[in-house]
């Protein structure tokens, strides 16, 4: 079987990973895989069942009956909880914290691992998340660690949610971003951290076009 090209993009919440990754993947003709959607779906399910997303005793038993899948429709990822397309429902702000909480549970990470690995084994893809370059695809040909200051990330998130008509407070978003950074980088299993062989791209002072161009240049150089 032909070896696929895998590009890993990791980084903290709100660094612009999904926007950038979608653009870079489109330019390369690769599949864009947003792994945060998987954790969000497990988090959404926990919230709907009225469970505490951070409590393994409550969340782990739900995994045996849970079906989470990704489908690519016209190249666009949709995420399914059983047969329900939850791609929009998982974007609600309260699902973010639930996703971060369930993602610290080792059984949840194990549950989602093969799904991610299989997609990468079968498709040239650009996968974004927190542990793609370190754990899920340690052999990815290209690894990028995308980051930005917490303030810049809260600012972007504020604009994004406000544009969608959600009512949010900047200070609360900044607090949540800091809390998620802390949770995601201090959990015992697969914490958010830059892989030794990842290229650091700090987007605090960069516009979208500049970030996309920077990453495409890195990809071109590595694949030459
Ligand atoms: O990228 P996102 O904000 O949609 O991710 C939601 C949460 O899922 C994030 O707080 C941490 C977790 N996550 C993870 O632990 N590992 C990944 N590869 C992707 C996301």
Nearest CA to ligand 1 atom 13: 36
Res 1 pLDDT > 70 = no
pLDDT of the residue at 34: 97
Cα 86 from Cα 5, distance rounded (Å)? 28
Cα 134 from Cα 132, distance rounded (Å)? 6
Ligand 1 geometric centre to CA of 186 (Å):
13
Ligand 1 geometric centre to CA of 136 (Å):
13
Distances (CA, A) of 132 to 71, 175, 176, 180: 19, 25, 23, 18
**Ligand 1 proximity of 103 Cβ (cutoff 6 Å):** yes
Cα 189 from Cα 82, distance rounded (Å)? 26
Ligand 1 geometric centre to CA of 224 (Å):
31
Res 221 pLDDT > 70 = yes
**Ligand 1 proximity of 54 Cβ (cutoff 6 Å):** no
Computed over every residue of the chain, the mean pLDDT equals 94
Res 196 pLDDT > 80 = yes
Tens of pLDDT, residues 66-121? 999 999 998 899 999 999 999 999 998 899 999 999 999 999 999 999 999 999 99
Tens of pLDDT, residues 153-175? 999 989 988 998 989 999 999 99
**Ligand 1 proximity of 153 Cβ (cutoff 6 Å):** no
Ligand 1 geometric centre to CA of 34 (Å):
9
Res 188 pLDDT > 80 = yes
Nearest CA to ligand 1 atom 5: 36
Distances (CA, A) of 78 to 72, 90, 110, 112: 6, 11, 21, 15
Q: Which of 46, 68, 117, 129 to mutate to test the pocket of ligand 1 (most atoms within 8 A of CB)?
A: 129
**Ligand 1 proximity of 77 Cβ (cutoff 6 Å):** no
**Ligand 1 proximity of 156 Cβ (cutoff 6 Å):** no
Q: Do 144 and 8 touch, CB atoms closer than 8 A?
A: yes
């Amino acid at each position: 079987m032909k070896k696929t090209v895998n590009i890993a993009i990791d980084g903290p919440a709100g660094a612009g990973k999904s926007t950038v990754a979608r653009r870079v993947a489109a330019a390369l003709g690769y599949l864009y895989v947003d792994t945060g959607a998987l954790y969000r779906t497990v988090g959404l399910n926990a919230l709907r069942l009225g469970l505490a997303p951070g409590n393994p005793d409550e969340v782990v038993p739900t995994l045996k009956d849970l079906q989470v899948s990704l489908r690519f429709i016209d190249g666009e990822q949709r995420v399914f909880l059983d047969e329900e397309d939850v791609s929009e429902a998982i974007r609600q702000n309260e699902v973010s914290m639930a996703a971060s909480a369930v993602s610290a549970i080792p059984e949840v990470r194990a549950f989602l691992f093969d799904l991610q690995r299989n997609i990468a084994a079968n498709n040239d893809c650009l996968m974004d998340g927190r542990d793609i370059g370190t754990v899920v695809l340690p052999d990815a040909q290209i690894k990028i660690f995308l980051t930005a200051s917490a303030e810049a990330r809260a600012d972007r998130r504020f604009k994004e949610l406000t544009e969608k008509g959600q009512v949010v407070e900047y200070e609360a978003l900044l607090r949540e971003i800091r809390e998620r950074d802390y949770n995601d980088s201090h959990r015992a299993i697969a914490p958010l951290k830059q892989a030794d062989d990842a290229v650091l791209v700090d987007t605090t002072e960069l516009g979208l076009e500049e970030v996309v161009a920077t990453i495409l240049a890195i990809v071109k150089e590595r694949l030459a």
